[in-house]
Amino acid sequence: MSPEVALLDELWDIVKVHIPKKDRVEFAETILRTFEDHLSLDDIEEHVQSFDSAMKAAIKSHFDYLLDTDEEDDDYNTDWD
């Protein structure tokens, strides 16, 4: 896990207890945008399972284009023999 993703994980564990459950996904998305503006989160997809459900939802929402691109690439590379 990159230091940036480890920092995100640690920060999220600290702040999430102070945020009402209904607001956690929105707040997590704000944190992700801030992190991405200043740090590299290139390997976050590999470590998404280490986060709770609110941060997972925020990661899926924020990085959806990456997840969809990977799935499309797999479909594109189908052997047509």
For 2-42, write each residue's pLDDT tens digit. Answer: 899 999 999 999 999 999 999 999 999 999 999 988 988 88
More confident residue, 18 or 65: 18
Amino acid at the residue 3: P
- pLDDT at residue 20, as a whole number: 95
Contact 29, 61 (CB under 8 A): yes
pTM: 0.71
Contact 8, 41 (CB under 8 A): yes
Degrees, nearest 5: CA angle 32-35-36: 85
Amino acid at the residue 38: H
Contact 63, 44 (CB under 8 A): yes
Euclidean distance between CA atoms 13 and 72, whole angstroms: 33
